[in-house]
Homo-oligomer: A and B are copies of this chain.
Amino acid sequence: MYKKVARREDIIQAAIEVFSKKDFQSASISEIAQRAGIANGTIYQYFKNKEDLFFSIPVEKTNEFRSQVALHLEGITGVFNKIRKFVWYFLYFFKNNPEYGRLLMLELRVNRSFVKTETYDFLKQSVRSVWDIIEEGQKEGVIRTDVDIYVLRHLVLGILEHMVSRWLLKDAQYDILEHHQQVSRILIDALRGGIPVAVD
């Protein structure tokens, strides 16, 4: 290896700055190159094309989200406590990473090419914890089994992603964490269904 490949990071950093202000279409390669202090062509030494560069941006943050979710759930006992923590951390994370949120929620998550990438697989893994928690609850008998687990996952991720998306489209004007307890409350009621609260 000759020169350090820190150059690749420079380009991604410049791309983050440009893409967080403009969307995929209006962000230009020239602007990214200029901000990175390199020539246009150099970008194509490191990335196949504009989309490849675009898709490379969220890799790091996605890994951060994934490991942090696991860390925050560590040591917590009780399925519903885990749900509460997941809800809180999900909203907390996007509150603190709105640029990543914009990229992920408003562009990548609905992009047919992106959902085929490895990064998206990583994302699914992190969100897999929701599945695990629900399964655990069903085994313990505290989460309903009369509803398909896919539907329950749609419920949890649906409200969270919807909240974050709408919040971002309203320019993150209000505090998205404000109602996290209410969100947990209704989700738990939905997941529990008719099962009464255990009194041990």
Main secondary structure of the interface of A (DSSP, over half): helix
A residues near B (Cβ < 8 Å) are 23-25, 105-107, 109-112, 115, 144, 146-148, 150-152, 154-155, 157-163, 165-166, 169, 179, 182-183, 185-187, 189-194
Complex Cα–Cα for A161 and B193 (A): 22
**Contact between B162 and A162 (Cβ–Cβ < 8 Å)?**
yes
A159: which of B23, B111, B158, B194 is its contact (CB, 8 Å)?
Answer: B158
With A158-B163, A160-B158: A186-B105 Cβ-Cβ less than 8 Å: no
Decide if B147 touches A186 in the complex (CB within 8 Å). yes
Measured CA separation A109–B4 after assembly (Å)? 42
- A165 to chain B: closest residue by CB: B110
A187, B191: Cα distance in complex, Å:
10
| A155 in contact with B159 (CB, 8 Å) | yes
Residue in contact with A186 in the complex, picked from B25, B151, B165, CB distance below 8 Å? B151
